[in-house]
Amino acid sequence: MSFCLEQHLQQSEDYKILIKNTGFKEAKKVIEKHSPKKVYVNAGEKILGARIIGIPPIPIGINDDESKVTLPYTKPCHGTAVVELPLEKDEIDKIKSSAIKD
């Protein structure tokens, strides 16, 4: 079974919100500053079961040492948040494979 971001955020406390109720540009700055490695995806890319909304290219932070990712999560009527959560290596690899190629 694949990972579902929406379900994880509803049913688990194993995540950290770095900033909430923010805009796309500020979310991008937080991810780029917080994460040791970044990959970039296009708007509308489906990551962890959710479509990523924002101004492309959209960064997703990856910390391979801690098996964590940091990504923007936009929920209608609530704005954009930057969420850090642990993931299995195969889910991190799926995110890396969705990255925009140079």
**Residue ranges covered by each domain of the chain:** 5-97
pLDDT at 1: 44
Q: How far is the C-alpha of 70 from the C-alpha of 61, rounded, in Å?
A: 5
Summarize pLDDT for 28-57 with one digit per residue, the tens.
999 999 999 999 999 999 998 889 999 999
Going by the DSSP 8-state scheme, the letter that residue 14 receives in this structure is: -
Summarize pLDDT for 64-93 with one digit per residue, the tens.
999 999 999 998 888 899 999 999 999 999
pLDDT at 5: 67
This prediction's pTM: 0.86
Question: What are residue 82's phi and psi, to 5 degrees?
Answer: -110, 120
